[in-house]
Chain A
């Protein structure tokens, strides 16, 4: 191709370079950007943590609190957390400008209060998750839902032995 021809082609195509840092760039609506947990809805069930391939979301228990910890630095933006969240609390936004000189900026913490077991006093589940479970599950077992899994396992034994609050229907 001759040089004149090439110049004509270049002129016909025009400028392709984007002005990006000085002008915003458009992203599609379903772009998988920064995941954000809505702290008002999250129940701390941990579905996202078990689905997260790089374990960027981790659910830990710290005393009275259950902590949902999202570390963006490890996130691969696969969107599985969004798929599995039963509350729709975690959502992938179209935000991609996440660069920061400060490593601490890449973390999101959601600290949720836990309910103590009626019998042994150990915090075992978040208040919100328990309320949610009560709405989903037909209520037949009385206060037994307020027992931690260990105590709940022991509860029928107590009833067999004749002592304790069997709560027979």
Chain B
């Protein structure tokens, strides 16, 4: 069964230790992750710490679009994190493939990665927090961590708009067309046949 982020919060009360996993990122998101640990937004005050091995980690900070070359290594690293684990998909590349979403050498984001993990490795998708941005602001990463820990409710919502209207579009359209006929006043298309 797929673990959701809400369930993860109930399981984990302790500080979040993060393993930073670069899966072919351009280093933009990686620099922002390092910024998060710098004095200005010092997240070690929240108990968040970078660790050197996925075996010590609670969370994976995944950046990059997961290139084909590093796909087995990424799967190994995610496998090495003890349960319960959480993935922070940081940046446009990790969230949806970024500008490389349909490139031949790239898996294209964590959604595709989870599909491959399920089909080829038989692994369940870990709970994931998506942090879009190219790269995300350090505050946006902290916000994502806060969402993962349940400190803040996410405000981003799916937005769907459907234009209303009955079947009389064409009638209204023609009315509108007739209302605009003054545009053609004094302007006639003349046909010159045989030089007349």
Q: A134-B177, A134-B180, A139-B180 are in contact. Are A100 and B134 (CB under 8 A)?
A: no
CA of A75 to CA of B159, assembled, Å: 16
From B16-24, B55-63, B72-80, B185-193, the one touching the partner chain is: B185-193
Contact of A20 among B130, B139, B183 (CB under 8 A): B139
B146 to chain A, nearest CB (A): 5
Say yes or no: is B137 at the interface (Cβ < 8 Å to chain A): yes
CA of A74 to CA of B143, assembled, Å: 19
Q: How large is the interface on B (under 10, 10 to 19, 20 to 34, 35 or more residues)?
A: 35 or more
Q: A16-B39, A113-B163 are in contact. Are A76 and B183 (CB under 8 A)?
A: no
- Assess whether A75 is in contact with B161, with CB atoms less than 8 Å apart: no
Q: A73-B109, A106-B156 are in contact. Are A115 and B131 (CB under 8 A)?
A: no
User: What 0/1 pattern do residues 7 to 50 of A give for CB contact below 8 A with B?
Assistant: 00000000011101100010100000010000100000000000
- Assess whether B140 is in contact with A97, with CB atoms less than 8 Å apart: yes
A133 to chain B, nearest CB (A): 11
**What residue in chain A is nearest B191 (Cβ atoms)?**
A168
Q: Is the interface of A mostly helix, strand, loop or mixed?
A: mixed
User: What 0/1 pattern do residues 12 to 30 of B give for CB contact below 8 A with A?
Assistant: 0000000000000000000
From A21, A39, A55, A118, residue with most partner B Cβ within 10 Å: A21
CA of A138 to CA of B136, assembled, Å: 46
CA of A108 to CA of B183, assembled, Å: 38
A residues 57-104 with Cβ under 8 Å of B?
65, 71-77, 96-104
From A25, A100, A108, A143, residue with most partner B Cβ within 10 Å: A100
B87 to chain A, nearest CB (A): 10
Interface residues in chain A, defined as those with a beta carbon under 8 Å from any beta carbon in chain B: 16-18, 20-21, 25, 27, 34, 39, 53-56, 65, 71-77, 96-113, 115-116, 118, 127-128, 130-131, 134-135, 138-140, 142-143, 145-146, 168-169
Interface residues in chain B, defined as those with a beta carbon under 8 Å from any beta carbon in chain A: 4-6, 39-42, 45-46, 92, 95-99, 101, 109, 111, 127-134, 136-137, 139-144, 146-148, 151-152, 154-163, 165, 169-170, 172-174, 176-177, 180-181, 183-184, 187-189, 191
Q: List 10 A-B contacts (CB under 8 A).
A: A17-B45, A39-B163, A73-B130, A74-B95, A75-B132, A98-B133, A99-B156, A100-B154, A108-B158, A111-B162
